[in-house]
Amino acid sequence: MIEYSKIEEFFAPEGLFQQNFPPFEIRTSQRDLARRITRTINEKRFLIAEAGTGVGKTFSYLVPAMLYADQEEQPLVISTYTKNLQMQLAQKDIPQVAQILDLNLEIAVLMGRSNYLCRTRLQFLHQKKEQFPVRLLPQIYLWSQETEEGTFEEWSFADHPEIWSLIAADADGCQGQFCPHQNDCFVQKARRKCQQADIIVINHHLFFSDLKMQNSEEQSLLPSHQVIIFDEAHHLEQTGIDFLGTDFSQVEVIEIIGEIRDFLGRLQKEKKDGLNFATLFSALQGLEEKAQAFFFEFDRELERNNPRFIYPGWWQKLQNSPLELLESMEALNRGLVVGEEVFPEELTLALGELRNRWGKLIASLDYFLDLPGDNFVSWLEGDGKNLILRSLPLFLDDFLIQSLYPQVESLIFTSATLSINDQGAYFAENLGLPSERTDTMILGSPFDYDQQAILLIPRDIPPPQDPDFVGKSIEIFQEVFPVLGPRNLLLFTSYQMLQSFYREIEGFCEEKGVEVFVQGKRAVSQLLRDFRESPRAIMLGTASFWEGVDLPGADLTSVILFRLPFPVPDDPWISGKARELEKQGKNSFTHLMLPRAIIRFKQGWGRLIRSFSDRGILLVLDRRILTKNYGKIFCSTLPERLPIIEGSAQKLFTAGKKFWERAGEIWTEVEK
């Protein structure tokens, strides 16, 4: 039981928090959230807690979490979506709160396997010398002896990420209990540390991985635990869906066949007995031909329809049966077993790694031959370089209802974007949260939106489906542009739309001396750094930029949303889920498209104001927010006191100009 008095002591005016962070004011919403989380844990309930930017939710959950971990036998688990937040919690926030509370807690961070060095793969690195500068080998070996955690964070060769991919501890190549490095394996070491920890910080992907293990015969990654706090919880559903999906990709098949051929070639040179090389090479050749024919047929299918949905029994009409491919893959696998005992250790390990990966591919193809029909959507897609068979579950609720909720006492889901229309029902429904155990708390941002921002909406603009929309939106953008401040983020709903806007705006920006940064043209961190340093810039982004960009202060002075971010209806998962919802008698627009658009819209405008001193303009070029019935729901996500100005481009320009004059910062390049 967490003592409520300790929460009050921490968050009270002039309490522990303020004594340790003197310039900070206690925010009532932060204290309210901490109290509510405490009650949720004490009363063994679930909580959906939406806390707008600026509430300070991290400390709100860390204080009760750490008080709980200090007195309970079992650890408390915190799960995040991004590695950044995971590291920030472990390296900064948790130690800070521990110091203030004077607690001595064991903290463990567990990351995805690919973040750790695999000593076995390192042992073979010299065999891949054509793939990296071989002169680095001695230094890499030395680093592997000295590194403490063996993580990518500690990796000293940041300029060589390609080497890391050759030695990372990916699950597919792991030898598990047969590995001679088991005792000094970094993945195992991190897992062992978790067994002793009071607080364990993981990510959502690992959380699902652990949950799946708990339901199989494999050993769970985490020690027994009763309380989990999910930060960035709006990513939980999609992470779970992706995690429970299956892929079978052409590139992977070709890569592994190539690696097996190289491996056999090496064995042959070393004149290893025990393998019938002629048979194996000929099996490999036959296999390659079958795979080629199989994927060639896919390619032709995709010329007619990309993506192409597939159903149970889909493959029976193919000329090149995947069953034959599967049998050849299994035959090769058996052929490789024969020689195992006669190899020296190093070769056995290398072969084991290949066979593990090969075995996973066999299992994937097998899955596609025996597809589940209900509640899964499966399809074939290709981008000219790779053909992929993909299958995803449509719903996550049943999996969580069966494997998670009965096992834990308390769950807290928090994020700045969980609710629709001030309710957590959509989130709760998708995750199948039990209504009798689940509460919702929604806390808006404490910012002064009436002073810090304005929303501009043009009147004379056609709806986005209209062929004149792009031309007109560019015209309005150019007119309002001088009052948007020096650094503007333009968010699009598709890369295609981003590109067409870019082509149209390039000349205008050149003429005005504005630098244009485009998502995908260079690494995100580099892009953001250059954008911040530019005296006058626009950034064009889509997808992850709606939520993954944090540019406080004058680094970002306006956000421009071109259209309301409804999901692309021909995305296979979206269209599969829409179809299934309709089958269940539900309206797919209100149950899927609209809620997803609203969450994304909140994430998009949420980029603008990140702190109490930020100022900025939000420009929404989609009038449906005012003209459609559902527009009211989008508007309800906006802060109540945010001034909204609607009108001609000239009126919006004047409003923007006045806004900056009021804000005392005149960034306009007014020519009018």
Buried/exposed code over 259-288 (b: 16+ C-beta within 10 A; e: otherwise):
bbeebbeebeeeebeebeeeebeebbeebb
* Residue 381, SS3 per DSSP: strand
Cα angle value 232/633/241 (rounded, 5°): 35
Q: Do 524 and 504 contact (CB within 8 A), yes or no? A: no
Nearer to ligand SF4, 182 or 494 (CB): 182
Kindly state the smallest distance separating residue 191's Cβ from ligand SF4, in Å. Answer: 10
Kindly state the smallest distance separating residue 200's Cβ from ligand SF4, in Å. Answer: 19
Say how far apart CA 24 and CA 22 lie, in whole Å: 5
Kindly state the smallest distance separating residue 117's Cβ from ligand SF4, in Å. Answer: 8
- Is the preceding peptide bond at 307 cis, omega within 30 degrees of 0? yes
Q: Tokens 């250790």 sit at which residue?
A: 345
Nearer to ligand SF4, 221 or 453 (CB): 221
Cα angle value 243/245/247 (rounded, 5°): 115
Nearer to ligand SF4, 121 or 563 (CB): 121
Nearer to ligand SF4, 174 or 200 (CB): 174
Kindly state the smallest distance separating residue 145's Cβ from ligand SF4, in Å. Answer: 14
Q: Do 444 and 52 contact (CB within 8 A), yes or no? A: yes
Nearer to ligand SF4, 27 or 181 (CB): 181
Helix (H) or strand (E) holding 48: strand 46-51
Nearer to ligand SF4, 169 or 283 (CB): 169
Kindly state the smallest distance separating residue 123's Cβ from ligand SF4, in Å. Answer: 9
Kindly state the smallest distance separating residue 190's Cβ from ligand SF4, in Å. Answer: 10
Which tokens go with 14? Answer: 């002039």
Kindly state the smallest distance separating residue 364's Cβ from ligand SF4, in Å. Answer: 20
Nearer to ligand SF4, 33 or 185 (CB): 185
Kindly state the smallest distance separating residue 184's Cβ from ligand SF4, in Å. Answer: 8
Kindly state the smallest distance separating residue 168's Cβ from ligand SF4, in Å. Answer: 9
Query: CA nearest 380: which of 452, 453, 302?
Result: 302
Kindly state the smallest distance separating residue 150's Cβ from ligand SF4, in Å. Answer: 9
By CB under 6 A, name the binding residues for ligand SF4: 118-120, 169, 174-175, 179, 181-182, 185, 187
Question: Please, is 378 exposed, middle or buried when counting C-beta atoms within 10 Å of its C-beta (0-12, 13-18, 19+)?
Answer: buried
Kindly state the smallest distance separating residue 78's Cβ from ligand SF4, in Å. Answer: 24
Which tokens go with 348? Answer: 């056995």
Say how far apart CA 629 and CA 612 lie, in whole Å: 33
Nearer to ligand SF4, 144 or 238 (CB): 144
Provide the CB-side half-sphere exposure for 283 (13 A, CA): 20
* Residue 617, SS3 per DSSP: strand
Kindly state the smallest distance separating residue 456's Cβ from ligand SF4, in Å. Answer: 54
Nearer to ligand SF4, 354 or 514 (CB): 354
Per DSSP (E only), the strands in 360-518 are: 376-382, 387-393, 410-415, 438-443, 453-458, 487-491, 515-518
Kindly state the smallest distance separating residue 187's Cβ from ligand SF4, in Å. Answer: 5
Which tokens go with 358? Answer: 């090969």
Nearer to ligand SF4, 187 or 608 (CB): 187
Nearer to ligand SF4, 220 or 451 (CB): 220
Neighbours of 204 (CB within 10 A): 23
Q: Do 358 and 367 contact (CB within 8 A), yes or no? A: no
Nearer to ligand SF4, 185 or 592 (CB): 185
Question: Please, is 184 exposed, middle or buried when counting C-beta atoms within 10 Å of its C-beta (0-12, 13-18, 19+)?
Answer: exposed
Which tokens go with 154? Answer: 């500690």
3-state helix, strand, coil in the chain (%, to 5): 55, 15, 30
DSSP 423-448: B-HHHHHHHT--TTTEEEEEE---S-
Amino acid found at 12: A
Kindly state the smallest distance separating residue 352's Cβ from ligand SF4, in Å. Answer: 8
Nearer to ligand SF4, 119 or 234 (CB): 119
Neighbours of 433 (CB within 10 A): 24
